[in-house]
Amino acid sequence: MLNDPIPWLDLSQNERQILSLIRRRGPLPRAALAHVTGLSPQAITNLTRKLIQNGFLDAGEVVRGKVGQPSTPLSLAPEGALFLGLKLGRRLVELALVDFVGHIKIHRQEIYSHPTPERVLAFARQGLATILDSLAPSARIAGMGIAAPFRLWDWGSEMAGWHDVDLSASLAEGLAFPVFLENDASTACAAELIFGRSVLPRDFVHLYIAHFAGGGVVLDGRLRIGPRRNAGALGSMPIPGGRQLLDAASVSTLEQRLGRSLPPDDSGWQVPTDVEAQWIAEAAHALAFVALSATALLDIPVVVIDGAVPPATRRALADATRTAMEALPAAGIDRPKVIEGSLARSARILGAAALPLAHFFEPGGALA
């Protein structure tokens, strides 16, 4: 939902392209920006001067080499814009303030047995009021993004209250900036695309292991969600045995075997080694099937595995998925490379914040 336009966010496509390149590649001198964009050196000089004056870029120290002219690397200004992200999960709701380079400046969370609209709205409104009151008048908030599972009522009868609830419209009332909403697994994929530390190709599949497994698809450098938002819904993909990926590769499946819930932090992840190993093995077979199926359909060279799990568990899942994929028939196609994601538990909240960032600062004005 969009509120009134914010004048300082009116950037040209060339300005957006410059900011996007620096976001993905790190600090760049003007000569490199001219080479990559194909714009003239004079155009780059004018554009970057404007971006510096408007507070979106910082000029670093002059680098003097043995050959050629000295260069000045340009980097993103952390306070250039701020973004709010709200992540709604099965047992945890989070609210964060994220700066222009993707650092979480403020973070709040609340644990529950299951989310209700009243509880989530109360948490969000109280948190927004506290965060906004703590900021200086000069703080530039571009917008708020919400990462939430779609069709929450499919989770059980206790979730029936979510029918006909427009979360973004409810929260947008009274705010001076726009509010956006997208599926939480899609936003995790978007976060890896925009804020991730991995070097990724323009086409990849992202598998995110949380309470329920989900995923996302990036093609030609853009998140793809489809006209009915079914693209990249990899948690719903059928796997052998008449099940779906989420039946085998979700943390909720592991919790069922344990007979208890796992806390939403790595320090509380206490799982017997044999139980975790069995879950990882079964999850990996399902992940490998989905990854290879996606490759056969979309010619994906890389599959990213991340999740709300400890780094060691994520690493074991990626290793086991590689092994399981080697055992699957793949005549006629190239098996994709399996790598670990880089954002872990912060992926979905960063992905929520990435929704307004993409709208105002990415070329094309949207993640998808």
Predicted confidence (pLDDT) per residue in 57-76, tens digit: 999 888 876 566 778 999 99
Closest Cα to residue 178, out of 366, 325, 355? 355
In order of 183, 319, 340, the CA distances from 312 in angstroms are: 26, 11, 11
Q: Kindly give the pairing relationship between strand 57-59 and strand 92-98.
A: unpaired
Packing angle, helices 273-298 and 311-326, rounded to 10: 60
pLDDT of residue 68: 65
Name the DSSP class of 139. Answer: -
User: Mean per-residue pLDDT for 220-225?
Assistant: 93
Read off the pLDDT band of 4 (50, 70, 90). low
- Alpha-carbon distance of 55 to 142, in angstroms, equals 13
Contact 282, 245 (CB under 8 A): no
Q: Does position 100 have pLDDT exceeding 90, yes or no? A: yes
Q: pLDDT, tens digit, for every residue of 182-202?
A: 999 999 999 999 999 888 999
The Cα–Cα gap between 338 and 322 comes to 6
Which band of pLDDT confidence, cut at 50, 70 and 90, is reported for residue 334? very high
pLDDT at 222 exceeding the cut of 60: yes
**Closest-CA residue to 302 (of 169, 153, 165, 196):** 196
Q: What pLDDT score does 221 carry?
A: 92
Rounded Cα distance, 190 and 303, in Å: 14
Stretch 170-191: mean pLDDT, rounded? 95
Contacts with 188 (C-beta within 8 Å, 6 or more apart), sequence order:
147, 206, 208, 214, 216, 306, 343, 347, 348, 351
pLDDT in tens, 109-123: 999 989 999 999 999
Rounded to whole angstroms, the Cα distance separating 84 from 156 reads 29
Residue 95, SS3? strand
Judge whether residue 1 has pLDDT over 60.
no
Q: What percent of the chain has pLDDT over 90?
A: 86
The predicted model gives 138-150 an average pLDDT of 95
- The mean pLDDT value for 33-62 works out to 96
Q: For the domain 82-188+348-361, what is the CATH code?
A: 3.30.420.40
Q: Which two tokens stand for residue 169?
A: 């419209």
Using pLDDT thresholds of 50, 70 and 90, give the confidence band for residue 294.
very high
State the average pLDDT over residues 127-155.
94
User: What whole-number distance in Å separates Cα of residue 208 and Cα of residue 183?
Assistant: 12
Conformational region of residue 115, where left means phi above 0, alpha means psi within -120 to 50, and beta covers everything else: beta
Residue in the block written with tokens 């925009």: 194
- The answer to whether 150 and 162 are in contact (CB under 8 A) is no
How confident is the model over 205-230, as a mean pLDDT? 95
Query: Average model confidence (pLDDT) for the chain?
Result: 94
Burial of 193 (0-12, 13-18, 19+ CB in 10 A): buried
pTM of the model: 0.93
Residue 367 scores a pLDDT above 90: no
Average pLDDT over residues 276-290: 98
Tell whether the model's pLDDT for residue 368 goes beyond 70: no
Which residues lie closer than 8 Å to 302 by C-beta, 6 or more apart?
200, 201, 203, 204, 205, 336, 337, 338, 339
Instruction: Provide the token pair at 132.
Output: 């906004």
Per-residue pLDDT at 365: 80
Query: Going by C-beta distance under 8 Å and a sequence separation of 6 or more, which residues neighbour residue 178?
Result: 1, 2, 3, 143, 144, 172, 356, 359
Amino acid in position 190: A
Domains in the chain: boundaries: 7-76, 82-188+348-361, 198-341
Distance between CA atoms of residues 255 and 58, nearest Å: 47
Mean pLDDT of 307-321: 98
Residues 6+ apart with CB under 8 A from 48: 18, 30, 33, 57, 74
Q: Is the pLDDT of residue 2 over 80?
A: no
| Domains 7-76 and 82-188+348-361 equal at CATH topology level | no
Highest CATH level, class, for 7-76: mainly alpha
Quick one: CATH architecture of 198-341?
Answer: 2-Layer Sandwich (3.30)
Residue 151 pLDDT exceeds 90: no
Instruction: Summarize pLDDT for 254-275 with one digit per residue, the tens.
Output: 999 999 999 999 999 999 999 9
Q: How far is residue 229's CA from residue 225's CA, in Å, rounded to a whole number?
A: 5
